[in-house]
Amino acid sequence: MLWNWYTVDACFISSSWHITSKGMFAGSCIGVILLAILLEFLRRSVKEYDNYLVRNNASHGLVVSVASNDNENGRTSSKPGQTPAREPPSVNPVAGNGYRPKLIEQAIRAFLHTAQFVVAYFLMLLAMYYNGYIIICIFIGAYIGSFIFQWEKLGGGQQTSAAKEATVCCG
């Protein structure tokens, strides 16, 4: 494959996706952008579903609690020469044993992961055609999807999704 800027008469994935007009190519570009946005939506939905499971099951006492003596700044609450004051225990669903999803919950998690995997590989296959317009559309879709679905609260002692997640294809 060679880098190209073909529009009309390009072919992607299968012989049935043969571009015969500029309008069809524009539709394909819009579809590729939407596919990249869908990938970011799926990435966020996996995280939100996991958070939902932890929150839902923490209220039922199924998530292990871990005591913490640290306040938000990472220091104990005391003045020099005093015994450190203990903060009340906090729930940290990531530490300890955590929560093991039920069969149906794990089936939903696996489905979301598989959908994410499929969309990511279709985008990879499209990128491997080395069509400049399609690759730019993948970048545009990734930008828009990230802008929409990774807009989250920063700080609070937690890493952002960008700091703790690898790209879909690599991790």
Model confidence pLDDT, tens digit, residues 34-83? 999 999 999 999 999 998 998 888 776 655 544 444 444 444 444 555 55
pLDDT (0 to 100) of residue 114: 97
Q: Which domain holds residue 106?
A: 1-63+100-171
pLDDT (0 to 100) of residue 95: 46
pLDDT (0 to 100) of residue 86: 52
pLDDT above 70 (res 21)? yes
> Mean pLDDT over all residues of the chain?
79
One domain for residues 79 and 160: no
Total domains present in the chain: 2
pLDDT (0 to 100) of residue 152: 83
For residue 29, count other CB atoms closer than 10 A to its CB: 19
One domain for residues 107 and 158: yes
Residue in 120, 119, 132, 126 with CA at minimum distance from that of residue 12: 126
